Amino acid sequence: MTESMTKPPVVLVVGATGSVGSQTLTALMRRRDAGQPLRLVAACRAPERLPAGFDGEVRAGDLRDDRYLAGLFDGVDVVCLTAAWSSLYGHADASRRLFREPVEAALKAAEAAGVKRVLITSAIDVKNVASSRSRAIRERLPEVWPHLAHVVALEAELDAMAARGITAVAMRCGFFVGPGTAIGIMPVLLPRLRARMVPMLGGGEVPMRFVDVRDIGEAFAVAALAPDLQGRVSLDVVGDDAPTFRELCGFLHAEYGYPPPLFGVSFDLAYRFAWLAEKLAAITPFEPLITRSIVFLSEPAVLDTEVLRGLGFRARHHWRDAIREQIDEIERHRITSRMVDRALPEASA
């Protein structure tokens, strides 16, 4: 690494038992076991849930505990803050308490401890806010999608850290799919398809930016150890082959019998309908059938995968296989939609 270390770098994975964290730790373990000089430290609340075979140091605790944070980053060179949290509608306070504030506190403590490189879980959607077709998304994001607004704020923290000489990396992930992934777009989409409540937006030709959670872990490992990474960096993490929404619906219909959308609407009309659905949800006990955040996620996204590929990253898992594994878990564990009105704290360590 360009930080000119004379000893193996110490890499700390925070949230090491979550979906992203466990895959990141596993990817780093493969490198260590293959002979790459590396010391691994896992930070988590429940060490018994760490990946099988992990034999590095464990620092157990909760990011919301100031005493834990005070020593968490001692002797650490690189920090992978893999915490992920999802809510597509509302939950501003919960997202702030369970995601934004713990990650902000961890970033501050890591910098105070002299950490040279930090990586956080972010979203490709961050850079598409300014170009959204929705004025509300562009100008009132905290009101429309509070959680994404918190992710944007965390990236601003990275900007400030980079200005002070730290390598600050935002891992901007696409839609989570694959095994061990209770969050993502699929638990939201599937029951709505079954109920025939999903329209074909924009003709169904917008690519779905899926990424297997195992590939997210691999991307974290690549960025954590890349020798020439410096300054403020944003890396788009997606799979190599993105189906259109129409292709996805065809696959789900052919393999699982999910009915395809019966009608199509423009993005402008979809945003109006989503606004109305949100208003109705505010006065009824039911979650909205569609939200403006879901419409925003259906808009075309600007992607740049060349930087991460230039570091040596290659996605290994095809979206079809990843979705098959995720649907199998959804059906076996009876996972229901938890992204819209029941937020899921994934791994804040």
Task: For the chain, give every domain's residue range.
Answer: 10-345
pLDDT of 183-206, one tens digit each? 778 888 898 899 888 889 989 999
Q: Which residues contact 133 (CB under 8 A, 6 or more apart)?
A: 267, 268, 271, 299
Provide DSSP, 135-152: HHHHH-HHHH-HHHHHHH
> Which one, of 237, 81, 131, 244, lies nearest residue 174 by Cα?
237
Instruction: Read off the pLDDT band of 222 (50, 70, 90).
Output: very high
Cα 55-56-60 angle, rounded to 5 deg = 110
pLDDT of 139-179, one tens digit each? 999 999 999 999 999 999 999 999 999 999 999 999 999 98
Instruction: Read off the pLDDT band of 4 (50, 70, 90).
Output: very low
Mean of the pLDDT values across residues 202-226? 95
**Cα 37 from Cα 23, distance rounded (Å):** 19
Q: For position 329, what pLDDT does the model report?
A: 86
Work out the widest C-alpha separation in the chain, in whole angstroms: 62
> Which one, of 150, 128, 106, lies nearest residue 14 by Cα?
106
Q: Is 303 exposed, middle or buried (0-12, 13-18, 19+ CB in 10 A)?
A: middle
Which tokens belong to 270? 């979809």
Q: What is the mean pLDDT of the chain?
A: 91
Residue 278's CB is within 10 A of a number of other CB atoms, namely 19
3-state secondary structure of 86: strand
First to last CA, the chain: 26
Instruction: Read off the pLDDT band of 6 (50, 70, 90).
Output: low
Mean of the pLDDT values across residues 58-73? 94
**Cα 95 from Cα 342, distance rounded (Å):** 11
The answer to pTM > 0.75 is yes
> Which one, of 183, 235, 110, lies nearest residue 347 by Cα?
183
Whether the CB-CB separation of 171 and 237 falls below 8 Å is answered with yes
Whether the CB-CB separation of 22 and 216 falls below 8 Å is answered with no
Instruction: Read off the pLDDT band of 2 (50, 70, 90).
Output: very low
Residues in the chain: 349
Which tokens belong to 15? 């949230």
> Which one, of 216, 210, 231, lies nearest residue 347 by Cα?
216
Which of 36-45, 107-116, 253-262, 277-286 bottoms out in mean pLDDT, i.e. has the lowest? 277-286
Q: Which residues contact 149 (CB under 8 A, 6 or more apart)?
A: 92, 141, 142
Instruction: Read off the pLDDT band of 335 (50, 70, 90).
Output: low
What architecture is the 10-345 domain classified under in CATH? 3-Layer(aba) Sandwich (3.40)
Which of 74-83, 116-125, 195-204, 305-314 bottoms out in mean pLDDT, i.e. has the lowest? 195-204
Whether the CB-CB separation of 261 and 204 falls below 8 Å is answered with yes
**Cα 109 from Cα 81, distance rounded (Å):** 12
